[in-house]
Amino acid sequence: DGGITQSPKYLFRKEGQNVTLSCEQNLNHDAMYWYRQDPGQGLRLIYYSQIVNDFQKGDIAEGYSVSREKKESFPLTVTSAQKNPTAFYLCASRGDSGANVLTFGAGSRLTVL
Amino acid sequence: QKEVEQDPGPLSVPEGAIVSLNCTYSNSAFQYFMWYRQYSRKGPELLMYTYSSGNKEDGRFTAQVDKSSKYISLFIRDSQPSDSATYLCAPSGTSYGKLTFGQGTILTVHP
């Protein structure tokens, strides 16, 4: 079955540590996205990539970094510069339907201790 | 003012009730209007979408868009406990895949 796989599902990190969240898709989609979800705030866009080796900052990119070396993979690194990293992180991809329809992974919950 | 405003609820209704979920938006360039459903601890999944103004029906769900008043609605008829989830509206314009999400409305349908 085609879909998006995010790992790990749960992650605990000490303050000052960087952590990388994995996102892999087998949908053959060109565009991929990272969102952050906090209670009462909906989804906020961190980074997105429309093609391999290219990515753009979203609305809340500070303290995060990404890479897009392969079409299938779009890992997100939460750096120690991110002041409030505890959140639910969602990866998504978009196909060619022309309607901006996103397919989401199951999410990764990061908790900073 | 946020680009998309959605009443976070929570909304609690008995089984069989008609549910109305609403969003308002400020960007007149929005053309596609999505509704996503998100179960607890899961990623959102697309429920339905409409293009421009009008209604679209899919089973027990009806999406309605009024671009003149910048108002988006999702109606659920004969609501079921399995409809209990967070519902997110997400309009977009021609901006390539950059959806703007509402805060989400938490819905509980009790038997």
Tens of pLDDT, residue by residue over A33-77, are: 999 999 877 899 999 999 999 999 999 999 999 999 999 999 999
pLDDT at residue A31 in the model: 92
Minimum distance, in Å, between the CA of residue B87 and any CA atom of chain A: 10
Per-residue pLDDT at B111 exceeds 90: yes
For residues B72-95, average pLDDT: 92
Chain B CB within 8 Å of residue A100 CB: yes
Of B43, B92, B103, the CB nearest to A42: B103
Per-residue pLDDT at A97 exceeds 80: no
Read off the pLDDT band of A8 (50, 70, 90). Answer: very high
Q: Is A101 close to B51, i.e. CB distance below 8 A?
A: no
For residues A74-103, average pLDDT: 89
Return the percentage of chain A with pLDDT > 70, whole number: 96
From the list B74, B75, B73, B70, the residue with the least C-alpha distance to B93 is: B70
What are the distances in angstroms from CA B22 to CA A25, B4, B9, B37?
A: 32, 11, 11, 14
The 10s digit of each residue's pLDDT in B6-42 is 987 899 999 999 999 999 999 998 888 999 999 998 9
Chain B CB within 8 Å of residue A106 CB: yes
pLDDT at residue A98 in the model: 65
From the list B5, B2, B10, the residue with the least C-alpha distance to B86 is: B10
Q: How far is CA B39 from the centre of its chain?
A: 14
Per-residue pLDDT at B95 exceeds 60: no
| DSSP run (H or E) holding B6 | strand B4-6
pLDDT at residue B51 in the model: 85
pLDDT at residue B94 in the model: 66
Residue-level length of chain A: 113
Chain B CB within 8 Å of residue A94 CB: yes
Return the percentage of chain B with pLDDT > 70, whole number: 95
Chain B CB within 8 Å of residue A31 CB: yes
